[in-house]
């Protein structure tokens, strides 16, 4: 190959690498500024404490809420859910939440 051809290829590769670097930096910045939130898996939630259950409000239990719960991150790690996460799981999976409320209220 001629030297000019090699120089042209080198310049093209350098340009492409710089472009790729800029794209990756943009992606990383986007992920830092707006992290993607992974929904909680209800199968990993345990030791759930539910408050606000009033039997006079049965079967709606509109004042019930998760006051405390723990989450298995993986086999070796667990953590307490934040108040925001507890509220989020109540909203995103209301069927699961009301199953837990009924279990607490009726001892099922």
What would the pLDDT profile of 56-75 be if each residue is shown by its tens digit?
998 899 999 999 999 998 88
- pLDDT tens string 12-44: 677 777 777 777 677 666 655 555 455 788 999
Q: How many CB atoms lie within 10 A of CB 81?
A: 19
Would the pLDDT of 8 be above 80?
A: no
Helix axes of 83-92 and 94-106: crossing angle, nearest 10 degrees:
100
Q: CB 21: neighbour CB atoms within 10 A?
A: 10
Tokens of 84: 């925001």
Q: What is the largest CA-CA distance in the chain?
A: 89
pLDDT at residue 32 in the model: 56
Quick one: what percent of the chain has pLDDT higher than 70? Answer: 82
Q: Is 28 helix (H, G, I), strand (E, B) or coil?
A: helix
Long-range contacts of 12-18 (CB under 8 A, 24+ apart): none
| pTM score | 0.61
Q: How many angstroms separate the CA atoms of 53 and 68, rounded?
A: 14
CB atoms closer than 10 angstroms to residue 100: 19
**Cα(47)–Cα(69) distance, integer angstroms:** 5
Give residue 87's pLDDT.
Answer: 93
């Amino acid at each position: 190959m001629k030297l000019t051809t090699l120089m042209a290829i080198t310049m093209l590769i350098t340009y492409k690498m710089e472009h790729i670097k800029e794209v990756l930096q943009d992606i990383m910045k986007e992920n830092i500024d707006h992290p993607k939130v992974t929904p909680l898996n209800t199968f990993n939630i345990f030791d759930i404490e539910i408050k606000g259950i009033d039997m006079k409000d049965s079967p709606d239990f509109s004042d019930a809420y998760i006051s405390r719960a723990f989450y298995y991150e993986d086999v070796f790690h667990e953590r307490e859910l934040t108040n925001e996460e507890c509220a989020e799981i109540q909203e995103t999976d209301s069927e699961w939440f009301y199953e837990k409320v009924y279990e607490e209220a009726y001892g099922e």
